[in-house]
Amino acid sequence: MAFSAIVRALACVALLAVACGTSHSPAGSASGGADLAKLQQYATCMRSHGISDFPDPQPNPGGQGGSFQLSGGPGSDLNRNDPRYQAADQACRSILPQQPVASAARVADLVKLAACMRGNGFPDFPDPDSAGAFDSSKFDPSSPQFQAAMQTCQWQTGVSGPIGVRPGRG
Q: Phi and psi of 66, rounded to 5°?
A: -170, -175
Which residue range is the domain that position 77 belongs to?
12-95
Looking at 59, 75, 95, the residue that finishes a domain is: 95
Reported as a single tens digit per residue, the pLDDT across 5-46 is: 333 333 333 333 333 333 333 333 345 577 788 889 988 999
- Across all residues in the chain, what is the average pLDDT? 73
Query: What pLDDT does 87 receive?
Result: 93
Query: What pLDDT does 35 receive?
Result: 77
Q: Do the beta carbons of residue 26 and residue 166 sit within 8 Å?
A: no
Looking at 70, 95, 120, the residue that finishes a domain is: 95
Looking at 47, 68, 95, the residue that finishes a domain is: 95
Q: 79 with 22, same domain?
A: yes
